[in-house]
Amino acid sequence: MFGGSLLVEVTLMGIMAAALVAVVLAAVVARRLAPEPGHAAGRSPSAGRTVESRLAETDDLHDRGLISADELTAARRRIFDQV
């Protein structure tokens, strides 16, 4: 692949795979936290989901290591901006 040793190539492929997983996870998290289209101002963007439940979900994602501290901060900001 890069003309180097097999160990270097395997390591680089592992790094690329990890980066792909991170991108896919970020997309899944962003989609889950995004408001539903056409939600009314002042109402929960997801039917039956309160602000508290959405914040708890973001905290849980962070606690499980699925999102970083920066992503947690951004998600919480988006939730509060929609209130």
Q: pLDDT tens digits for 39-56? A: 554 454 455 689 999 999
Residues spanned by the domain of 15: 6-81
Instruction: Quote the tokens at residue 79.
Output: 């939730």
1 within domain boundaries:
no
pLDDT value of position 10? 87
- Give the closest residue to 66 by CA, choosing from 24, 14, 17: 24
CA distance 73 to 36: 20
CA distance 5 to 64: 35
65 within domain boundaries:
yes
77 within domain boundaries:
yes
pLDDT value of position 3? 58
Model confidence at 32, pLDDT cuts 50, 70, 90, reads confident
Overall domain count for the chain: 1
